[in-house]
Amino acid sequence: EDKVVQSPLSLVVHEGDTVTLNCSYEVTNFRSLLWYKQEKKAPTFLFMLTSSGIEKKSGRLSSILDKKELFSILNITATQTGDSAIYLCAGLIQGAQKLVFGQGTRLTINP
Amino acid sequence: DGGITQSPKYLFRKEGQNVTLSCEQNLNHDAMYWYRQDPGQGLRLIYYSQIVNDFQKGDIAEGYSVSREKKESFPLTVTSAQKNPTAFYLCASSQWGNENEQFFGPGTRLTVL
């Protein structure tokens, strides 16, 4: 059975801290790993990682994929209160193009 | 504006009634998806459609039905057979191909009383 597991499930930090969110996966016919941010309603796309070891960056956010260890991390540096959200990772199944989601990490940034 | 719309935002129904959730996209995307989100469980795939007049069951299709008569529309019916229908329902769409991310609508929160 395809499975994606995120940790921690919940994280509370102070503004300015750096956080690392974890995502491990067991997905047959794995194609890519996707990260989404969900603030209130619709998840918004952050990154798609297909190749191992290549870091993707967008401002204070960065992510990397390890296809040998079946693992991805999402880093957020100098956190701001606007980073408070649920962060979802998902494995994309090649061919069917189905996404298998993890449970999400609820990140709270306190001022 | 291009995007995905879902309606209604909130929906209340009595137990035993069927209810249909609307999802429309004007992004000209081939593929559309329905997910259910429960607290602590992330998103689970209900049904998806790669092309008009074709759709496949996801991981939790029991108690749900869909249709894809038009490219831009993918309505989801929650039937009385669904044992625990109260949840947040998200619709998504993407261009077909492995390099394309899914874009999500704002969701419908369904409460069955």
pLDDT score for A59: 97
Percent of chain A with pLDDT over 90: 87
Contact residues, chain A to chain B, C-beta under 8 Å: 4, 6, 9, 31-32, 34, 36, 41-45, 48, 50, 88, 90, 92, 94, 96-104
Cα–Cα distance, A33 to A6 (Å, whole number): 12
Mean pLDDT of chain B: 92
Inter-chain residue contact B104 with A100, CB threshold 8 Å: no
pLDDT level of residue A95 (50, 70, 90 thresholds):
confident
B98 touches chain A (CB under 8 A): yes
Asked whether residue A76 carries a pLDDT value surpassing 90, the answer given is yes
Asked whether residue A37 carries a pLDDT value surpassing 60, the answer given is yes
- Best CA proximity match to A43, nearest among B89, B104, B91: B104
B12 touches chain A (CB under 8 A): no
pLDDT score for A83: 97
pLDDT level of residue B2 (50, 70, 90 thresholds):
low
Q: Which residues of A touch B99 (CB under 8 A)?
A: 48, 50
**Is the separation of the CB atoms in A75 and A91 below 8 Å?**
no
